[in-house]
Amino acid sequence: MMFLSLFKTSTSTTAFDKIQGYEDIKDIVIRAISSDENYNLLFIGPPASSKTMFLQGILEIKKDGVYFDGSNTMSRILDVLQEERPKIICIDELDKLS
């Protein structure tokens, strides 16, 4: 019977389960988004270092956020921010914004 317990799958999933490793970053992000204080988080790193997946995970946990990527213009971003007044703003590919 012990052999079968090796194949049990966990039914609890979190927003960051898709990300392998980065446990320290996951802890920091979860603390920041569950805090009453205001925080700014900047994810930097080489390509394929889960930056986008962290942003998507944040939005999965906190539903009241907005997501922008490099294809958005600054005028569009400002329009959305003025209309929606979100508490969480995730901007991906900041260097590609026009």
Series of mean pLDDT values for 10-residue runs along the chain (98 residues): 46 75 92 89 92 94 91 94 93 87
Handedness of CA 16, 21, 23, 26 (dihedral sign): negative
Q: Please give the pLDDT value at position 80.
A: 95
Q: What angle do CA 70, 71, 76 make, to 5 degrees?
A: 105
Give the residue from 49, 48, 50, 53 showing the smallest Cα distance to 67.
53
Q: Please give the pLDDT value at position 38.
A: 87
pTM equals 0.78
Cα dist from 27 to 22, 34, 35, 76, whole Å: 9, 11, 12, 32
51-61 and 23-34 helices cross at what angle (nearest 10)? 30
